[in-house]
Amino acid sequence: MTQLTRSATLAVLAFSICSLQAATPTVAGAKAFMDKAEAELMRLNISQARADWVNQTFITDDTEVISAAENERLIARTTELVKESRQFDKLPLPADLRRKFLLLKLSLTMPAPSDAKLREELTQTSVGLGSTYGKGKYCPDEDTSHCVGIDDLEDRMAKSRDPKELARYWAGWHKIAPPMREKYARFAELSNQGARELGFKDTGVLWRSYYDMPADQFSAEMERLWAQVEPLYKELHAYVRTRLVAKYGAAAQRPDGLIPAHLLGNMWSQQWDNIFDLVAPAAAPPTYDLGQIFAERKTDAKAITTYGEAFFKSLGFEPLPPNFWKRSMLVKPTDHDAVCHASAWDIDLDQDVRLKMCIHSTTDDFATVHHELGHLYYDLSYRKQPLLFRDSANDGFHEAIGDAIALSITPEYLKTIGLIQTVPPPAADIPILLRKALEKISFLPFGLLVDKWRWQVFSGETKPEGYNAAWWALREKYQGIAPAVDRSEGDFDPGAKYHIPANTPYARYFLAAIYQFQFYRAMCREAGYKGPLNRCSVYGSKEAGAKFAAMLSLGKSKPWPEALKQLTGDDKLDASAIVEYFAPLLEWLKQQNAGTKTGWTVAANPMKAQ
């Protein structure tokens, strides 16, 4: 289509929608508006996805500009459609149509004021926050010739075992954030104005309204779930703290029982698996090394992907579409730059699904392929739904689907598909479960507190002059973490986490960590499995696959409790599946912590390092 033709088409579409606005709002008019809006958004989403795919698999200045332009066009038109849709707010609409209007409105995580100047200011402020983070560097001793970005710093945080060096990295990275402080306060103010114009009390309420329940009820649900897993987290915290004190001595020991943030192998202390070598059990039965097995068999990227596809086929799903194998990027290109970070792509919201990943023949990448294909099979399952329902039941579901499948990568599964010959004994489960807990259980309190801090900011409970104190009060309360060095309100430590300046909601990650175990347990039960949950694999179970597919096919057409019930038989989130999964580890941790006080006491000043 030529530029002239495309412009003319959009002009006709805009005229048609404007004509609908001019008439008295009716149910028929609302349906006609939504039909046209969905058709337009479908075209814009596909154009944006294609441009973004080309940019990420073939990075040049030109592809970056093209991708940014398509993304801006999609956001701008979505914002306009949300504003236009308000003419139908007071109409009594059929349930499905009413849900579409709500989802259209909730699709904006950055609601903008209707005033053009304020909207432009919000956009520029948002871009400025993202740019400040993206340009962030740590410069040792203020030497700008040796500055390093967050990717290098994360690698150093994972590998260094020198507490003074780790503290320098931690403090150095957090220096990027203070310039964001005033911008973020203005951003919150403008975003709140946009949310109020859409009928919400503030942006935090808008975000929480996405979860098919009143905002306050959703907040309470998050706390209820945390209460279920907090005892397990505290046992893990106490065990890790003891081992860190044994390693680092005074650098790790505090009278209040908090763990210094820089000693956990991660810039934000959100996952601790990088320090597994420091906390691993002294002795354990030998296990297997998939990387070595793949190397011996010369297993390539396509073969590893085929293993993942075979898992879903064993559940009764169709093979991946032929174009998947033609259009996916499975290995790192040798002649141009590309983004290797693993991601699943639904290009045309139908059957053009793709995997973008630079696959290595490792245990981690084997699990990642299973996870990413979970996203794609979800996309394929709901592709026949109307556009606004072609999404996961809520944003936590999509991540949880892939993770639930990855939990089935057990020794029993690996033996069944011929990758190992002997299943390790139950005693080998403890190091495996410990490593997994350092990844998943350690994340839970951080996954909870990031948005709790933002909700307090958006609501006005936390004022700009108290941003940092509120951040560290939450980190202390939920994580039992203390800063590496003294902090003050001259700092803005929330800004050192990407999702804050990028305005990316974070509750989804906490929810996904809960959902994945609940999904997994339900599928294991459907498969007739009776043993320890951590040993279950649903590979080959058509019964589990049918239940799974029924939930996936709903997409976003129903409130998430209905989708959850389709698979689990329960319409409430339940973290007991996590506790059951880690039951052997919990018993072991309690034995290791015998005579040790779990938990921590509240510090007089949460921003004090020691």
Identified catalytic residue from 499, 562, 580, 609: 499
Tens-place pLDDT, residues 214-223? 999 999 999 9
372 given a catalytic annotation: yes
In-domain check, residue 483: no
pTM of the model: 0.88
Catalytic residue among 284, 342, 428, 469: 342
Q: List the single range of 127-131, 140-144, 212-216 with lowest mean pLDDT.
A: 140-144
- Residue in 212, 554, 563, 207 with CA at minimum distance from that of residue 386: 554
Could you say which of 237, 370, 371, 398 is catalytic?
Answer: 371
| 371: annotated active-site residue | yes
Percent above pLDDT 70 for the chain: 96
* Residue where one domain finishes, among candidates 66, 83, 106: 106
CA distance 395 to 345: 15
In this prediction, residue 12 carries a pLDDT of 44
Q: How confident is the model at residue 17 (pLDDT cuts 50, 70, 90)?
A: low
Last residue of a domain, one of 106, 125, 152: 106
- Angle of helix 290-297 relative to helix 363-381, nearest 10 degrees, comes to 90
More confident position, 360 or 543: 543
241-281 residue pLDDT tens: 999 999 999 999 999 999 999 999 999 999 999 999 999 99
Q: Is 370 a catalytic residue?
A: no
Q: Is residue 13 part of a domain?
A: yes
Q: Is 399 a catalytic residue?
A: yes
Query: What is the domain extent for residue 66?
Result: 3-106
499 is catalytic: yes
- Kindly report, residue by residue over 407-430, the tens digit of the pLDDT: 999 999 999 999 999 888 888 899
Classify residue 471: in a domain, yes or no.
no
- Are 574 and 565 in contact by the 8 Å Cβ rule? The answer is no
Q: How many CA atoms lie within 13 A of 425 on its CB side?
A: 4
Q: What is the pLDDT of residues 430-466, one digit of tens each?
A: 999 999 999 999 999 999 999 999 999 999 999 999 9
pLDDT of residue 339: 75
- Which pLDDT score is estimated for 10? 42
Q: Which of 169, 382, 413, 509 is catalytic?
A: 509
Q: Do residues 235 and 589 touch, judged by C-beta distance below 8 A?
A: yes
375 is catalytic: yes
Q: Is residue 493 part of a domain?
A: no
Q: Could you tell me if residue 140 is inside a domain?
A: no
Candidate list 235, 309, 372, 526, residue with the active-site label: 372
Q: Is residue 500 a part of any domain in this protein? A: no
Domain boundary among 106, 132, 154: 106
What does 290-331 look like in DSSP terms, one character per residue? HHHHHHHHT--HHHHHHHHHHHHHHTTPPPPPHHHHHH-B-S
Indicate if 412 belongs to the active site.
Answer: no
The number of domains in the chain is 2
Catalytic residue check, 342:
yes
Is residue 414 within 8 A of residue 387, CB to CB? The reply is no
- Residue 148 DSSP class: B
Q: Which of 171, 375, 400, 478 is catalytic?
A: 375
C-alpha closest to that of 244 among 267, 265, 268: 265
Closest by CA to 131, choosing from 557, 469, 502, is: 502
- The whole-number pLDDT of residue 23 equals 66
Nearest residue to 270 via CA among 106, 585, 509, 469: 509
Q: Is 383 domain-assigned?
A: yes
SS percent in the chain: helix, strand, coil, step 5: 65, 0, 35
